[in-house]
């Protein structure tokens, strides 16, 4: 009898009625004679509500207490889910992180899973338990305190449990049908992918396609967990995450992802000497700015320009910290240029490794539409560009067509 892990996110457990969709999926797996581990998120907006509660007390807070408070959301949904399954005559119980236990680092609010003991779970399965409902997003540190894994961390709980118990597969139920070539709200020709490699998913997850927690994809890749992304409200085979070798045909480009609200900041007239960039980005990191793309132009008369991008809502903080740095003679520059009207588009595909001409095709497609590229950055399997925000939809549609993504 094999074990499967099923994870239901916040929108899939928003209320008792909605939970019935999950119950149907779970009951089906029990009928298929699977031992089932269900990982749940907190119901609907519970976590946001708890976060606000903490922030009401203090802007700066003890992350250990924050974690203890946030973890209650998943504890409640796990117990509610267990009760609903018991109503269906299924032998089911809830498990909190410390009861399993799921051991994590003590990096509170952003802990990483170190070890999962499956002994207690397996013993209970032997004694008749059919479904274990595990509270996602949480664990305990070696100091016996409750930790949380960061927002979206329930995906990671699910994949880690699947890895620990050598599950047949790990099904992540969401409110979308799977992973798409791009956002279907932007182009109706966006297609659901049947398969995607871990590496591509990693680029997509970290680039803003908020379907899966990045860390869960890393873990899945590391332990070769067969992860499927499915819709909890519909039937369907979803998207399977798998090894590159398991992809029958390696498509050149698998998907297009984007981040709408980006800003481009340029420091003009920066001294071109060793250590300067270090000082600039140290300054920004202290201000907690999520710097994304970084470009440094060629030097002219020992002066250079440094450009970087960050989310629009962090521009003011970034400006302030750079101007502060200038005032205190920590950073020297002539002028700071800010463009708040840009978006980032990335094309991702493992096939890029073996195919040349992808960048050229991307730039030509955008050029043909008269879209100016402001910044470019590349990795092994992705190319990202910044462009004027008003061209975002047009650019995605053109690239989707140029790379024939509707034909997958």
Backbone conformation region of residue 265, classed left if phi is above 0, alpha if psi is from -120 to 50, else beta:
beta
- The least CB distance from residue 87 to a copy of itself, in Å, is 5
- The least CB distance from residue 77 to a copy of itself, in Å, is 10
Q: Which is nearer to a copy of itself, 68 or 247 (CB)?
A: 68
* β-pairing verdict for 255-271 and 335-348: antiparallel
Distance from C-alpha of 348 to C-alpha of 394, rounded to nearest angstrom = 18
Q: Which is nearer to a copy of itself, 56 or 249 (CB)?
A: 56
Token pair listed for 375: 């910044």
Q: Which is nearer to a copy of itself, 110 or 189 (CB)?
A: 110
Q: Which is nearer to a copy of itself, 96 or 266 (CB)?
A: 96
Distance from C-alpha of 42 to C-alpha of 232, rounded to nearest angstrom = 16
Interface with a copy of itself (CB under 8 A) = 16, 50, 53-54, 56-58, 61-62, 64-66, 68-69, 72, 75-76, 78-80, 82-84, 86-87, 93-94, 96, 98-99, 144-146
Distance from C-alpha of 297 to C-alpha of 334, rounded to nearest angstrom = 15
Q: Which is nearer to a copy of itself, 16 or 279 (CB)?
A: 16
Q: Omega of the bond prior to 101 within 30 degrees of 0, cis?
A: yes
Burial of 319 (0-12, 13-18, 19+ CB in 10 A): middle
- The least CB distance from residue 41 to a copy of itself, in Å, is 15
Edge-to-edge strand list for the sheet holding 113-116: 113-116, 102-104, 138-140, 146-148
* β-pairing verdict for 255-271 and 303-311: antiparallel
- The least CB distance from residue 146 to a copy of itself, in Å, is 8
- The least CB distance from residue 121 to a copy of itself, in Å, is 13
Q: Which is nearer to a copy of itself, 146 or 383 (CB)?
A: 146
- The least CB distance from residue 230 to a copy of itself, in Å, is 25
Distance from C-alpha of 283 to C-alpha of 275, rounded to nearest angstrom = 12
């Amino acid at each position: 009898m094999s074990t499967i892990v099923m994870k239901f996110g916040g929108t899939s457990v928003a209320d008792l009625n909605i939970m019935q969709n999950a119950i149907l999926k779970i009951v089906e797996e029990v009928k298929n004679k699977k031992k089932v581990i269900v990982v749940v998120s907190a119901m609907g907006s519970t976590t946001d509500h708890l976060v606000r509660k903490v922030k009401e007390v203090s802007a700066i807070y003890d992350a250990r207490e924050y974690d203890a408070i946030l973890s209650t959301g998943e504890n409640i949904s796990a117990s509610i889910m267990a009760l609903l399954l018991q109503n269906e005559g299924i032998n089911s119980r809830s498990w909190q992180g410390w009861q399993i236990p799921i051991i994590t680092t003590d990096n509170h609010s952003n802990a990483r899973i170190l070890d999962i003991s499956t002994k207690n779970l397996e013993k209970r399965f032997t004694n008749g338990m059919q479904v274990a409902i595990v509270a996602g997003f949480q664990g305990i540190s070696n100091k016996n305190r409750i930790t949380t894994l960061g927002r979206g961390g329930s995906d990671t709980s699910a994949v880690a449990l699947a890895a620990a118990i050598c599950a047949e597969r790990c099904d992540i139920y969401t409110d979308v049908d799977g992973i798409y070539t791009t956002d279907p709200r932007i182009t109706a020709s966006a297609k659901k992918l049947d398969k995607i490699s871990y590496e591509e998913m990693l680029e997509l997850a970290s680039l803003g396609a908020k379907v899966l927690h990045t860390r869960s994809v890393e873990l899945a890749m590391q332990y070769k967990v067969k992860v499927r992304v499915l819709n909890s409200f519909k039937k369907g085979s979803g998207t399977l995450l798998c090894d590159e070798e398991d992809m029958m045909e390696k498509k050149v480009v698998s998907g297009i992802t984007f981040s709408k609200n980006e800003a481009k900041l340029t420091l003009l007239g920066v001294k071109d000497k060793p250590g300067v960039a270090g000082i600039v980005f140290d300054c920004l990191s202290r201000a907690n700015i999520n710097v994304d793309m970084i470009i440094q132009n060629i030097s002219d008369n020992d002066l250079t320009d440094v450009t970087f991008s960050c989310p629009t809502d962090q521009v003011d903080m970034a400006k302030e910290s750079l101007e502060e740095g200038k005032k205190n003679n920590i950073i020297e520059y002539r002028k700071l240029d800010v463009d708040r009207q840009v978006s980032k588009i990335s094309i991702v595909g493992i096939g890029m490794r073996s195919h040349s001409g992808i960048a050229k095709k991307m730039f030509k497609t955008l050029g043909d539409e008269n879209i100016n590229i402001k910044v470019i950055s590349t990795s092994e399997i992705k190319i990202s560009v910044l462009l004027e925000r008003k061209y975002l939809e047009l650019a995605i549609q053109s690239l989707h067509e140029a790379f024939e993504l509707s034909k997958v």
